[in-house]
């Protein structure tokens, strides 16, 4: 397993370098906006979504040089969502990735523009005509990320999440929120990597989507568990914030032990799906296990 962990480090470094090259220099006007953009994107982070892109592409031997593009695009979308979610009008958080949130370091107006800029940059990157994938695949990738980011995906999930504060939800309702808010972009990450393979087939895409659906939910369950069990220094964001804000969570609904058990069931189902896929699936399996066992 050590060689897989080392490979993940390589993927993280690749995505960090690619993002650094993509982002506008702070020497270019508007300097303050570009400084804030780089602050938001290049801070510490798990880079789970880029890792999923690289790991899914690795199943079929897709070149890392091609996977760099969707890996960056999905991380730009993810970071935009964090910047906006942290705003006072949303989750009102002051700490992200171990340092002040974008609107605290700069100001709310700048943070709004950072999110707007990152969203558009993600699609600019993904639409680049130099991306070496079949043109129909590239169009599908753009569509996929668009749906995952909008009202039928991440943004819609955040809207329902905000509406659910203080309410008692059913398990089905909670899963619907997080299938959109967290799961949509995780599913997109896996499928973007797969679409970089010219001969990808519908059956394999469906299996990967079902895998990603499960690890997306498992990711959120573990986030909820850590909000109860971990601490602010380890998480890099305020521990216990969900409880303070009276947000619906898996531990609150199921209890801590049952929430952990639910995550393990989803992990088992996800890894069983991988067994039916031909190719190098060990990276995705490692990531799935990391998602459920991580402490930050």
Confidence band of 6 (pLDDT split at 50, 70, 90)? very high
**Alpha carbon distance 92, 103 (integer Å):** 10
Q: Are 193 and 56 within 8 A, CB to CB?
A: yes
Instruction: Catalogue all structural domains in the chain, each as residue range(s) with its CATH number.
Output: 2-293 (1.10.600.10)
What average pLDDT does the segment 239-267 reach? Answer: 92
Q: Are 218 and 270 within 8 A, CB to CB?
A: yes
Share of the chain above pLDDT 70, in %: 100
For the residues of 173-206, what is the DSSP string, one character each?
HHHHHHIIIIIHHHHHHHHHHHHTSTT--HHHHH
Task: Give pLDDT tens digits for 84-128.
Answer: 999 999 999 999 998 999 999 999 999 999 999 999 999 999 999
What average pLDDT does the segment 137-155 reach? Answer: 98
**Alpha carbon distance 189, 55 (integer Å):** 10
Q: What pLDDT does 237 receive?
A: 80
Kindly report the pTM of this predicted structure: 0.96
Q: How many CB atoms lie within 10 A of CB 150?
A: 13
The helix or strand, by DSSP H or E, that contains position 46, with its residue range, turns out to be none
């Amino acid at each position: 397993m050590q060689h897989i962990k080392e490979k993940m480090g390589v993927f993280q470094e690749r995505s960090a370098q690619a993002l650094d090259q993509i982002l506008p220099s702070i020497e270019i006007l508007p300097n303050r906006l570009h400084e804030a953009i780089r602050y938001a994107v290049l801070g510490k982070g798990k880079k789970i979504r880029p890792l999923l892109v690289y790991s899914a592409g690795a199943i079929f031997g897709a070149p890392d040089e091609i996977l760099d593009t969707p890996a960056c695009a999905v991380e730009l979308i993810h970071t935009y969502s964090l910047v906006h979610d942290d705003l006072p009008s949303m989750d009102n958080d002051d700490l992200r990735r171990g340092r002040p949130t974008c609107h605290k370091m700069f100001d709310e107006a700048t943070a709004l523009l950072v999110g707007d800029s990152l969203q558009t940059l993600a699609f600019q990157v993904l639409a680049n005509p130099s991306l070496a994938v079949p043109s129909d695949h590239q169009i599908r990738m753009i569509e996929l990320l668009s749906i995952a980011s909008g009202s039928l995906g991440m943004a819609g999930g955040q809207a329902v999440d905000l509406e659910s504060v203080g309410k008692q939800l059913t398990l089905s309702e909670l899963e619907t929120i997080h299938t959109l808010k967290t799961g949509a972009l995780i599913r997109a990450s896996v499928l973007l990597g797969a679409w970089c393979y010219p001969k990808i087939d519908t059956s394999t895409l469906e299996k990967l989507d079902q895998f990603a659906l499960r690890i997306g939910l498992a990711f959120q369950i573990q986030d909820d568990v850590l909000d109860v069990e971990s601490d602010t220094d380890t998480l890099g964001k305020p521990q216990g914030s969900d409880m303070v804000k009276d947000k619906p969570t898996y531990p609150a609904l199921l209890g801590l032990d049952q929430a952990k058990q639910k995550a393990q069931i989803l992990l088992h189902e996800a890894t069983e799906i991988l067994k039916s896929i031909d190719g190098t699936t060990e990276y995705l399996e490692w990531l799935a296990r990391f998602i459920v066992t991580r402490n930050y």
